[in-house]
Amino acid sequence: MIKANKWFSKNPWIWSTIGFVVLWLVISVVSGKFSIETLFLNITLASFTFLLGIAEMMVITSGDGALDLSLPYTMTISAYIAAATFRDGNTWKGILILLVVCVGIGLLNGMINVYLHVHAMIGTLAVGYIIYTVILEYSKYSTKAPTKEIQNFVHGRIGGLSVLTILCVLFVILMSVVMYKTKLGKKIHAIGQGHHIAYLAGINVNRIIILIFVCSSLIAGLTGVLVSAYVGGSYQTMGDSYLIPSIAATMVGGTLISGGKSCVVGAFTGAVMFVLLSTLLNLSGFSASMQNIAEGVVIILILFAAKKDTN
C-alpha cells in the first residue's frame, strides 16, 4: 500500500488519465457504440487546451501563485496577425512579426512582474486588457483565416492520427525533456519552491521568470494560429473559452498551484479529460449552466483524490 501511494504521488497524471478513460467508456455506453475514432477526435479537439495548458504550467510552476491571464488575448491577436500576414508569399515576414509581438508581450508581462513587483495575475490581466483593445481595433480590418496550406496542415492526418495529435505528442516529449532534463527546467522548479531560496542558490530568478513569460506567450501565439486555421477564421473572443479549461487541465493533471511541481503528461491527459467531459454532458442534454457545475465538481473530486495521495 505504501509503495502504491508513493507511485501515485510521483505520477499524478494517473488520475486525469483514469478520468478520461472512464469518460470515454461512459460516452461509448451512452452513444451505443465503442469508437476509437471518437476518442481520437476528442484528443484532437483537446490539442488547443493542452498547448495553452503547457504555457500556464510553466508560469504556475514558477511559484508565487502566478498565472498568465493574458494568454487568451495573446492567442487571439496572434490569430489575427497570422491571417493578415501569412499571405502572398510573405509567410516568413508574418512569422517574424508574430514572433516579435509574442516576445514583446512576454517581456512586458515579465518585466511588470519582476521590476514593478506587480503580481503576475494582476499584471498579465492588465496587459491582456491592453491587447484586447488592440484586438477590437484590428479585428475591424481582418477577419480572414490563415492560408490554405496551414489549414490543410492542421486538418491533415498521418497514419490515421491527426497532425494536431502528433504535434501534441511531440510537444509532450519536448516539454518533458525541457522541464525534467535541462538546467532551465530544474531552475524553474527550484524558483517555484521559493524565489528567495533560489536566489541564494545562485539562480538568476528575474531572468528565468521573464523567460518563462516569453515562452508562455510564444506558445499562446502558436495556439492562436492553429485554432484559427482549424475553425477557419478569427474572432474577438476566440481565446476566452480556453483559459479556464487550460488552467484546470494543468491542475488536475498534477501541477501544483503553489508552484515547484509540474506534470507535462498530466496537462495533456487533463485536457483530453475535460473535452471528453464536455462531449458527455452535451450528449446527455445538460444545459450550459449544469455543464459548468458538473465540470467544477469533477475538478474538485480529482484534486481531492490527488491531494490524498500526496499527503
pLDDT given at position 144: 66
Q: Is 147 exposed, middle or buried (0-12, 13-18, 19+ CB in 10 A)?
A: middle
H or E element: which one contains 112?
A: helix 91-115
The string of pLDDT tens digits covering residues 248-292 is 899 888 898 889 999 999 999 999 998 998 888 888 777 777 777
**Confidence class of residue 88 from pLDDT cuts 50, 70 and 90?**
low
Q: What is the pTM of this model?
A: 0.91
- Whole-number Cα distances in Å, 300 to 251, 306, 311: 10, 10, 17
Q: 169, 159, 177: which is closest to 269 by C-alpha?
A: 169
Domain regions of the chain by residue span = 37-262
Interaxial angle between packed helices 91-115 and 71-85, expressed in degrees from 0 to 180 and rounded to the nearest 10:
160
pLDDT given at position 3: 64
Rounded distance, CA 277 to CA 298, Å? 9
Listed in sequence order, the residues at least 6 apart from 156 whose beta carbon sits closer than 8 Å to its beta carbon are 162, 163
pLDDT given at position 258: 86
Three-state secondary structure call for residue 208: helix
